[in-house]
Amino acid sequence: MGGAFAQGGSVMTPDMFIHIGPFEALFLLALGFFGGMLSGFIGTGGAFVLTPGMMSIGTPGPIAVASNMCHKFPKAMIGAYRRYKLRQLDPKLALLMATSAIFGVQVGIQVQKHIYELLGPTGTNLYVSVAFLIVLPTVAAVLIRDVVKARRMGISDLEPRFAAKLEQKFRIPPMIKFNIVGREQSAWLTIPLGFGTGFLAATIAVGGFIGVPSMIYLIGASSAVASGTELGIAFVMGSTGTFTWIYLLGAVDLRLTTLILATSLIGVQIGAVGTTYVRQYYIKMAMATVMLLVTLSRALAVPGYLVELGWVELDESVVNLLNAFVLPVMTVAFLSSTPIVLYPMMRVRRKLARAGILDSSLDGISIGKFNWKRIGIFGPLTALNYYILFHDPDWWPRFVTSIPQHEPLTAALLSIGVILFAIYWSFVHGSFAYGILDFIRIAPLKREVADIIAKDGISGLEAWIDYMEREFGKDKWPVW
């Protein structure tokens, strides 16, 4: 491990990369859209849906984690920008946590590498699945508790009391004022939180389950700000982690990444917009619901891994039956994001449209306009990119698995090249997707309207509309 770069050791081989036929392609496109929509809504990168989703169609654990990390950072870059414009991302907090998260990512990848060398692909599949079984139900239980309390008390979200106590008692310099969060906390509090986020992201590609709750309960951020800030951290973790996955193991399958990106770049923007249409506790409820479904999917897969490793004995028919339910349950998990995100959005938009104020309630200057220049330029470029990657389905597995075998400097440059290509791909396709969303009028609510919903819900919005109609004409409402 000495010198400027570590030499790659045990690497993936081309035969470990799955064949992508019509079924796999359609599944990955659907997975990307629904996972992206959920990611933009809850701010965790959506890895707890995407990684198990890829594994459910036969992708080995390390390749699923690495490919999702490569998919995550360009998508997170776009989502973070959208959330920053909505004042749902704290730059100071994102920078501090991302710094220590980088180290957590590198340690986490080494753990994955060690397990792969010791137990092979089945061992890493088991490790990823068991980690999900521990993390997801634990976080879901905490979130459900908060949702129940918030609904019982009739408030938007619970005040993180422990964060307030830390702000008063844990005052080890330097103390940092996080303006968007609205708290002043010690910089030293962010170091273990960032490291844990990075470690979990590298081992199971789900750093947000440490990052988001820790920002809520320890730093004192709201659910929306925590999820938005997590997208900024995910960009830094994902880019550095992708480099290591490629350089050491050649584990990134850009075919999986780009198929998921094709639809997730649209989904993530719809999800980010959706946060302005709901109360804060609704975001927690969405996270908990999908987490529990994914937990069930991974639990069904674990017996098969144990049998493959020779650690337990089960009748083959039992294993086959359990495995038969892995993909359907996973499909239900990511499809559940549709009503979670879109139902409240459609409900609010319908009420605003009936009041005749939908257009004036949306925050956007190009809403409903078809941008021929953007669509005309970036649409064909997107199609060309996919042709280059998929015209020979075997060249990418051969190329990426050869990178760790090169001289260290060459391998590093090739790894950086893949990262830059992923960013370019996301920029081109993201611009195309943004033009489509503008045309179909998917835009966030203006802050004044979003604040009413966050505070008082749909009933508060209805009361506000009634009051404004009585007091003012529709063209003279002070909010506009």
The tally of CA atoms less than 13 A away on the side-chain side of residue 188 is 7
- Cα–Cα distance measured from residue 418 to residue 229, given in angstroms and rounded to the nearest whole number: 25
Residue 312 near residue 303, CB atoms below 8 Å: yes
pLDDT at site 433:
72
Q: Is 476 among the domain residues?
A: no
- Cα–Cα distance measured from residue 108 to residue 241, given in angstroms and rounded to the nearest whole number: 9
- Cα–Cα distance measured from residue 204 to residue 199, given in angstroms and rounded to the nearest whole number: 9
In tens digits, the chain (480 residues) has pLDDT values of 333 333 334 578 899 999 998 999 999 999 888 887 877 776 555 667 788 889 889 899 889 989 988 887 877 777 787 778 778 888 889 889 989 888 888 888 888 888 888 888 889 889 888 988 988 898 888 888 888 887 777 666 655 677 788 888 888 888 888 888 888 888 888 888 889 888 887 776 666 667 777 888 888 888 778 878 888 888 888 888 899 899 989 999 999 998 988 888 778 778 878 878 887 777 778 778 888 988 998 899 999 999 999 999 999 999 999 999 988 888 888 777 778 778 888 888 888 888 878 777 877 644 445 566 777 777 788 888 888 888 888 899 999 999 999 999 999 999 999 999 888 888 887 777 766 766 666 677 887 888 888 777 888 888 888 887 777 765 666 555
Q: Is 180 among the domain residues?
A: yes
Residue 436 near residue 39, CB atoms below 8 Å: no
Residue type, 1: M
Q: Is 73 among the domain residues?
A: yes
Residue 129 near residue 306, CB atoms below 8 Å: no
pTM for the model stands at: 0.74
Q: Is 106 among the domain residues?
A: yes
pLDDT at site 207:
65
Q: Is 156 among the domain residues?
A: yes
Q: Is 437 among the domain residues?
A: no
Cα angle value 114/55/242 (rounded, 5°): 55
Which domain does 194 fall in, by range?
Answer: 14-339
Residue type, 167: E
Q: Is 86 among the domain residues?
A: yes
Dihedral of the alpha carbons of 35, 424, 243, 330, in degrees to the nearest 10: 10
Q: Is 325 among the domain residues?
A: yes
- Cα–Cα distance measured from residue 469 to residue 156, given in angstroms and rounded to the nearest whole number: 25
End-to-end CA distance of the chain: 61
Number of domains in the chain: 1
